[in-house]
Every structure is written in structure tokens, then in C-alpha cells.
Amino acid sequence: MRIEEDVKFDYGDVLIRPKRSTIVSRSQVNLERTIKFPNSKQQWTGIPIIAANMDTIGTYEVYQVLSTYKIITAFHKFYTVDDFRAMNLDKEYFMISTGISSSDLERVKAIIDAIDVKFICIDIANGYLESLIEFSSVVRKLYPDKVLVAGNVVSKEITEELILRGGVDIVKVGIGPGSACTTRLQTGVGIPQLSAVMECADAAHGVNGFIIGDGGITCPGDLAKSYGGGADFVMMGGIFSGHDENPGEIICDELGNQYKEFYGMSSEKAMNQHYGSMAKYRSSEGRSLRVKYKGPLSDTVNNYLGGLRSTCTYINALNIKNIPKCVTFVKVNRQLNTTLA
């Protein structure tokens, strides 16, 4: 047993120090980024935000909105080959998702045989399993020209291994920060998300890889902080929930308040829905939530992109790629006045 003495930070533990800026308007800020992936030899251009591969978020209806902004949707794992055939898709703005079993691999092969796929997201809760690296390596050999994403992890050594041994282009970073995730409560495992992003980004960039900061975003300021910590992409789930485009009916309570359902993919709700029941050897590591109804998804997207542009004007960053170079974080005890909340 040992204890790491240095403090680890979450997004709420810091603010970004402003600096003199020559940007006169938010309209000057370019939120698109072009990224070249050394392992797959592919190139991508768009706004580096990803809708999480949850079955209430990673849907075709969400994709139809986000793709117009050049934002990626990671489709959930439960779409069939026939489902994909029925969709009108641009390969630049979606990912297919998979686990690491032999049946998962067969599903990936069938989807890629049926439609044009650029991104494959190999997604398991515990990215520290050796089998994740092995599975990633198999997929890389089968599809040398696909952009591979794998995770989730929160530390530098496994980030480097996934890129160097697994042939992964992008490592997904985050254990427990999501609004519907209870992994930290159930297991005691995790690292505060900003520090995890900073550590894994430094490791990935050192071996010509990239990372996704997955989870923990509560507001547009957190999105900016994730990029400031070195995230190349940011994945959001709960932020994209509660909209017209999310599946499920609007729920009304006795006071007339409107909600939509949102739940974690390791929750008992998800296990029952997709597998019939939760296996006795495991426990629920997700929550089922009612999210206040938010209306059109485009309203939320515009709010987050507007906040991100504003951050850039405060720190003199003309684009997302320059944000880490322009950011100085300030450790704080409190960042909001909640007197009237």
C-alpha cells in the first residue's frame, strides 16, 4: 500500500486565469480542428466533441442534429447491421461501438461489411484488462485504416500501452466522473477527471496519440477546462440528455414539471433492458435519473459552443488546439456564488 501525496483535481477545483487578448469577437474563434492519426494514417476535421455511446444518447436522432455541427456521435452497442443499413450516415461524424468478446468482433465485421465506417470505439468500463489491449491489436490488424478508440483508463502507463501495443489512435479517459455513473461509490476506484485528462494527454501526446476526456462535464466552462487540460476530444452523456431527440416519452410529475429518462450503461436498468437481468456476480455501477426536459438538442449545443468561444476570447486562443497553450489553471475553494440558487 502507498499513498500519492499530490492533490488530484476535478473541473470544479480550478478556474482559468484570463490573459490579455487580441481577439475582438467570438466569431473569430474557429472551433473546428484537423487531426492526423499516425496509427491509422487517417485525417479528420470537425468540432472535437463526442456524444456518449449510451442508448439514450448515442442514437441516430442525436446524430442527425450533431452531424450538422460536425460533431461526432458514438452509437451505442445495440444497433444491428440492419439498423445501420437504414441510416443515412457520414462516416466522419459517427463511431460504431463494441465490447471485446468474440461475438462483438463478429458484429464489428458484419457492420463494416455493410456500411462505410471510419471510427471504431472499443469500449469497456475497466480499460486495465490485458484483454482490451489484445482485442485492440486484433482489430488494428484486421482494419489498419480505421481510427481506433479504446478505454476507459485514467493513468499514463496504460494509455501508452494502448497506443503502442494495441495500435489505438485515441484513448478514452475517465473512470467514474459521469453523472449516471456510480463506479467510484461501488468500487472506490478512479482519479478526479481533470488530473486524469492531464496525465493521460501528456502520455498520449508523447507517443503521437490522442485522448478523449470522457465524462464529468457539467457546464460549458468544464468543456473548456477539459481542452485546457489537454483533451483532444471531449465526450458528453448527461449534457446531451433530456431533449426532444432523446428516446422516451416526456414524464410529467404532480407539479407539472417535465422530465426524460437517462441512465448509465452499467445500471440495473440497462442490464435488464439489454440482457434480461443483472448477473448475480456483479452490482449496478450506474444510476437511473430523471433529467429536466430541455427542448431541442440544438439549443444545448449552441450554448456550449458559445461558451467555448467566449473562453477562447478570454485567453487569446483563436482555436481549440491552442487552448492548452493559453491556459493557466488557478486552484480555488469556490467558483460560483450560489446565494440565490
Which region among 119-128, 138-147, 267-276 has the lowest average model confidence (pLDDT)? Answer: 267-276
Each residue's pLDDT tens digit, 183-219: 888 899 999 999 999 999 999 999 999 999 999 999 9
User: Against a cut of 0.85, is the pTM above it?
Assistant: yes
Mean pLDDT over residues 48-53, rounded? 98
- 156-164 helix and 193-206 helix, angle to the nearest 10 degrees: 40
159 a catalytic residue = no
Each residue's pLDDT tens digit, 277-293: 545 555 555 667 789 99
Q: What 8-state DSSP symbol labels residue 216?
A: -
Catalytic residue among 56, 59, 183, 300: 183
Give the whole-angstrom CA distance, residue 235 versus residue 171.
12
Would the pLDDT of 340 be above 80? yes
Mean pLDDT over residues 310-329, rounded? 97
Each residue's pLDDT tens digit, 97-115: 999 999 999 999 999 999 9
What is the number of other CB atoms lying within 10 angstroms of the CB of residue 300? 19
| Lookup result for grid cell 422530465 | 259
Would the pLDDT of 268 be above 80? no
pLDDT band at 269 (very low <50, low <70, confident <90, very high): low
pLDDT band at 23 (very low <50, low <70, confident <90, very high): very high
* Domains with residue ranges and CATH for the chain: 11-246+298-331 (3.20.20.70)
Percentage of the chain beyond pLDDT 70 is: 93
Q: Are 110 and 81 in contact (CB under 8 A)?
A: yes
Give the whole-angstrom CA distance, residue 27 versus residue 318.
10
219 a catalytic residue = no
Cis peptide bond N-terminal to 30, omega within 30: no
pLDDT band at 261 (very low <50, low <70, confident <90, very high): confident
